[in-house]
Structure 1
Amino acid sequence: MSLEVDHLTGGYTQIPVLKDLTFTVPDQTVVGLIGLNGAGKSTTIKHIIGILTPQKGQIRLNQVTLEQAPETYRKALAFVPETPILYPTLTLREHIELTIMAYDLDTKQAWQKAGDLLARFRLAKRLDWFPANFSKGMQQKVMIVCAFIVPAQLYIIDEPFTGLDPLAIRDLLAVIKQQKARGASVLMSTHVLATAQQYADQFILLNAGKIQAQGTLTQLAQQFNVENGSLDQIYFKMIGEAQS
């Protein structure tokens, strides 16, 4: 089991945003984290990557917590944030070199992976560009390249399709499929339900900081009595029931 979240309660203040979340992200599995703005998706991710500390509960990655083994925990995951976070004085090449140093990667192997990803995302001729020269979509591609040169066990991707053109979305989904085949797992927060339905194996439906439902599409359809329903239909049924 790659990621285990056990009775997580937490948030930014003493008043919890997240209320008793329990879920897993198994190896070789893409899990879609689905919810409205303010449902708790990004807060959940911030707890998993260690920006926020749980008020209650525990998060384990490959059977260890961040407190038990900080370096082991952090090296086992890679993160693509919703908003690109780049250093204005570093080129694309230097961002890749910084990632290699941060994760203590083999330089030759990491640059081989980077070369493949740079070609896939059409950035190979942009290595000496600074972030100011990149569009938002290109900045997002830089974050994707830096994350996926890491041989992580868990990739966490927050709203991955924001700012990406259709070709880049196709390329990102292909990379996710490759990593899943390698044995990695992916936790993907997204509003694009049709794409999530097509590429995720399981779903976690969040509402007001609580897990309203989780499971495969078939299991969710049965739970909400939506025969052969799409993720959109299931989600809207859930919201309707939660508000009634």
Structure 2
Amino acid sequence: MKPVLEVEHLTGGYSRQRPVLHNLSFRVHPGEMVGLIGLNGAGKSTTIKHILGIMQPHAGEIRLNGRRIEEHPTEYRRTYAYVPESPLLYEELTVKEHLELAAMAYGLDSAEYERRSADMLEEFQMTPHINRLSSHLSKGMKQKVMIMSAFLVQPELYIIDEPFLGLDPLGIRSLLELMVKVKNSGSAILISSHILATVERYADQFLLLHQGKLRASGTAAALQSAAGLPGASLDDAFFRLVTEEGTR
């Protein structure tokens, strides 16, 4: 099966003199959830910004369905939907208008939009707030709008950065159920999170970044083996791999 996302020998960051990322290579396949984990400053958000096309690699390349953003910008961007750590909404638009905007951007027809948006609004308990301006929403509600907009368009790849911050328990459960649903339907998910116990339950593969390098990758069992802790929790394996003892 061909990967949706291919990152090959990526070196990048804000300065060519002091790159944040060093020679990263990994792939994400259809129907696969990959957890991007690491300490603060490890390079997770920088990796995501390169995949989104916000930052340009110093070396290496990134492909979505075999396409590079420089060659096929529209097709590249329509392959993914992004849920950022901090909600980014237009204050003068309502919840409904944000969903309509996402549908138009991805060419979703009106009948499919009506069906999917109704399901999303009900799932996240946002139907009563459909006509509220985003400036009048709580942070958790804003995060729900970002999540609904992403899952509404059903892309081939979901890029999700720390999605649980600000969500209430029902929102977290709804998001997790949605991720399982889209994964089973064949979409790929790259999720960055510090909540390792939750990611361990749902992700198929893991990418552990440490100081801008890929410290370990593979299944939870592979990370446990790399840490020398077979059968341990992902938390314990992670701690071993990012401590001085684990990085020698």
The residue aligned with 1:181 is: 184
Q: Distance in 2 between matches of 1:239 and 1:151?
A: 35
Match 1:206 to one of 176, 191, 209: 209
Match 1:3 to one of 2, 5, 12: 5
Q: Distance in 2 between matches of 1:191 and 1:235?
A: 11
Match 1:155 to one of 148, 153, 158: 158
1:111 matches 2:114: yes
The residue aligned with 1:77 is: 80
Letter in 2 for 1:88: E
Q: Distance in 2 between matches of 1:166 and 1:122?
A: 12
TM-score (norm 1): 0.98
The residue aligned with 2:98 is: 95
Matches within 5 A, 1:195-234: 195-234=198-237
Instruction: Give the CA RMSD over aligned residues.
Output: 1.0
Q: Distance in 1 between matches of 2:110 and 2:57?
A: 35
Instruction: Tell me the CA shift for residue 182 of structure 1.
Output: 1.0
CA deviations 1:56-103 (Å, max 9, x no partner) are 101011111111211111111000000000001011111111111111
Q: Distance in 1 between matches of 2:147 and 2:220?
A: 27
Letter in 1 for 2:116: K
Match 2:131 to one of 128, 131, 136: 128
Letter in 1 for 2:6: E
Q: 1:68 is paired with a residue of what secondary structure? A: coil
Instruction: Tell me the CA shift for residue 242 of structure 1.
Output: 4.9
Q: 1:52 is paired with a residue of what secondary structure? A: coil
CA deviations 1:151-181 (Å, max 9, x no partner) are 2000000001111111111100000011001
Q: Distance in 2 between matches of 1:223 and 1:242?
A: 9
Q: 2:153 is paired with a residue of what secondary structure? A: coil
Match 2:15 to one of 13, 33, 37: 13
TM-score (norm 2): 0.96
Q: 2:228 is paired with a residue of what secondary structure? A: coil
List alignment gaps of at least 5 residues for structure 2: none
Letter in 2 for 1:38: G
The residue aligned with 2:31 is: 28
Q: Distance in 2 between matches of 1:111 and 1:63?
A: 32
Q: Distance in 2 between matches of 1:111 and 1:203?
A: 36
Q: Distance in 2 between matches of 1:69 and 1:4?
A: 15
Aligned length: 244
Letter in 2 for 1:167: L
2:227–2:246 CA contact under 8 A, matched in 1 = no
The residue aligned with 2:240 is: 237
List alignment gaps of at least 5 residues for structure 1: none
Instruction: Tell me the CA shift for residue 111 of structure 1.
Output: 2.4
Q: Distance in 1 between matches of 2:246 and 2:21?
A: 16
